[in-house]
Copies of this chain bind each other. A is one copy, B any other.
Amino acid sequence: MARLQRLSGFPEWLPEGQVVEQLVEDTAREVFELHGFAGLRTRAVEPLEQLLRKGEIDKEVYVLRRLHAEEGEPDAGLGLHFDLTVPFARYVLEHAGQLEFPFKRYQIQKVWRGERPQEGRFREFTQADIDVVGRDSLAFHYEVEMALTMATLLDRLPIPRAVIQVNNRKLAEGFFLGVGADDPAAVLRAVDKIDKIGPEATERLLVADAGLTAAGARACLELAGIRSEDASFADRVRALGVRNDLLDQGIEELVAVVEGARRERPGAVVADLRIARGLDYYTGTVYETELVGHESVGSIASGGRYDSLASDGRQTYPGVGISLGVTRLVSILLGRGLVTVSRPVPSAVLVAVVDEEARSASLAVAGALRARGIACEVAPAADKFGKQIKYADRRGIPYVWFPEDGAHSVKDIRSGDQQAADPLRWEPPEEDRLPQVRSVETQEARS
């Protein structure tokens, strides 16, 4: 086999890194299920015309063809999905008759984008999404629930503090209309560039491209500078003197999200009026999430309310969702050394083999431990015990079991402590049962 080259943008972890990714996904699943979201998976492929509906991303799509494709194949014109929202919207339309609405689902899958790879940005990556969709209508309170569910998840993960930043499209659009914008979407696109090009260039864009007056452009920039952990942003918005009904509705909704979240989890959610989100299908609350101290890698959890993403012409299925960037988060944790992993293997115990004829005695011990949920493996060969202990040590397996006739014993190879033990009763300490992921910052352990 020829020398192998890693593929830029297609990350793979060593077993230790995989423990971290698995923990993130397991925790996401647990929190999502506790909140009543049903697990779902969609196929990895969608017809290209589905994928290209969201104009901005079309250049990033991976197209498929069979190596020996024939003309007019049913799976010609397929591409890999670039997010989980578009496939979910398609799934809802396809199965609407068999689903109960409002329909709450979570979905943890890989997606693919042909973007230029850089830190936190990959060509293949995993997302963990939650969405709620209604038929024809969807109660506003789900926009609070999304933020709270994601805040609960982020709080349970062994990661630096995360802050969910929320804004509201009605607020923004109402404000832009109120300062005289003809095309609020153009204003939004310009405001979305503040972090990249700075406020002065943005102000010029707002006048040149979005057709605002100089005063209007300045008001939009002032709006984007407002941030608060409570409802106080509302007064600061109103102080800008812009009047519009949609703006009022947006303020009311954003107050409800921020205050609703603050009651349950103070500090987890802030109103940040700079948040725009690139996608044009959002119609209400929008979310982004900053990992404090690691803001430069971008948002680790984003989403928003959408009213017309899924529609079959007769009915619409408005929804709200938020998506955790699993691969981005894990790549930060691993790449910046923010976590430690106690061991890269599930085994808590290595059962030693006294001699090859007695391998079945070791298998019996392993069977007894496994029956009580203790992961273990049997030594590969009846080497000298010192070599068998080294096998465990190199893998971080904390215990070695010696199944000697009538005198079973188990050794903690970290302390050297060795004790008589019964395979039908012995239990490892709780923290040794499973690999532990520990935050370097807080030293709090998760498993």
Contact = CB atoms under 8 A, between A and B. Distances in A.
A100 interface: yes
Contacts of A15: 38-40, 99, 105
Contacts of A363: 264
Nearest to A313: B1
A404 interface: no
Interface size class of A (residues with CB under 8 A): 35 or more
| Stoichiometry, copies per complex | 2
A180 interface: no
B65 A62 contact: yes
Given A39-B18, A41-B18, A43-B10, A66 B62 contact: yes
Contacts of A64: 62-64, 80
Contacts of A374: 34
B346 A37 contact: yes
A357 to B, nearest CB: 12
A222 to B, nearest CB: 33
Contacts of A414: none
18 contacts: A1-B312, A15-B99, A18-B41, A21-B41, A34-B373, A36-B346, A37-B346, A38-B346, A39-B346, A44-B110, A45-B124, A59-B68, A61-B66, A62-B65, A75-B123, A134-B380, A141-B359, A264-B367
Interface of A: 1-4, 6-15, 18-19, 21-22, 33-45, 47-49, 58-69, 74-75, 78-80, 90-91, 93-95, 98-100, 102, 104-105, 110, 112, 114, 123-124, 134, 139, 141-142, 145, 263-264, 310-313, 344-347, 359-360, 363, 367, 370, 373-378, 380-381, 394-395
